[in-house]
Amino acid sequence: MAKRKPPKGSDIPEWVVTYGDLMSLLLCFFILIVAFSEPKKPEEFQKVLQKIKEALGFKGGQGVADIDFSSANSQITIKTQNVTRGQDGRYADEAPRKNITGIEEQATIVQEGELQILGGSLTFAPGSAALTEDVKQELRENIAGQIHDREYIIRIVGHSWGTEDLTMGGHIEASAQRARSVFDYLVDECDVNPLLLRLSIAANFEPAPQESGKSASSNRRVQVFATGMTLGDVTTDPHGTGRRRD
């Protein structure tokens, strides 16, 4: 009786099969990384991400993942409190002290808006705040009429320049005197309501842009601007009658 031949073993070693499976899994992993690197449909990507988190048992932590629970002593809670609280222990939306109640219970801040210059620059002689005849004519025939027609808040800005203006007590004093001279002329000679006028001091901090052939004397000037506020925006008695406006 012939002997039975032993079965032949596989020609491929067993470790090669395991190695092939690992390489297939690794290839799939890199394909997923490339696919998720530039998601074309963010909503579907978020769904896939959520499923992966659920499969891995993710429960929250630092990062951009959603957190469905909060702990009183968690690091995230502490960071949130540090953002909303200041160093003195108060929350950011808490005032340091109570507001003082005055005549008006509510305070309103009205922005001036864009300033519009009225007329040209009113120039002065060095070291002087006296109005020249040209300046008086400009105020009387051009600027005053626009103030009467509009009844907006008017800002009178005085400027100074050079060592000559220092003899008037300094640049601040020189620009203040020039603005005051324009104020007095508009009120006394042009019958402008003084409640409309506001004096401002620029001193020598805002020199005029110099053009070719133009001297620095243009810096010794006063400019008159119309603001975007009316007298009724800033006072309850716009006409100075002594009675409050309801």
Q: Is residue 137 part of a domain?
A: yes
Which amino acid does the sequence have at 167? T
The pLDDT of residue 53: 81
Per DSSP, 152 falls in state E
Please, what sign has the CA dihedral across residues 173, 175, 176, 177?
positive
CB atoms within 10 A of CB 245: 10
Number of domain units in the chain? 1
- The winner for highest mean pLDDT among 10-19, 82-91, 126-135 is 126-135
Q: Is residue 52 part of a domain?
A: no
Q: Is residue 156 part of a domain?
A: yes
* CA diameter of the chain: 145
Q: Is residue 84 part of a domain?
A: no
- What CATH number has the domain bearing residue 123? 3.30.1330.60
pLDDT per residue over 62-94, tens digit each? 455 454 555 454 444 555 455 455 555 555 555
Average pLDDT for 177-183: 94
Report the mean per-residue pLDDT for the chain. Answer: 76
Domain of 169? Answer: 116-207+216-234
Q: Is residue 166 part of a domain?
A: yes
Q: What is the pLDDT confidence band of residue 184, given thresholds at 50, 70 and 90?
A: very high
Q: Is residue 26 part of a domain?
A: no
Per DSSP, 141 falls in state I
CB atoms within 10 A of CB 170: 14
pLDDT per residue over 158-174, tens digit each? 999 989 999 999 999 99
Q: Is residue 220 part of a domain?
A: yes
Q: What is the pLDDT confidence band of residue 10, given thresholds at 50, 70 and 90?
A: low
What gap in Å lies between CA 31 and CA 28, rounded to an integer?
Answer: 5
Q: Is residue 162 part of a domain?
A: yes
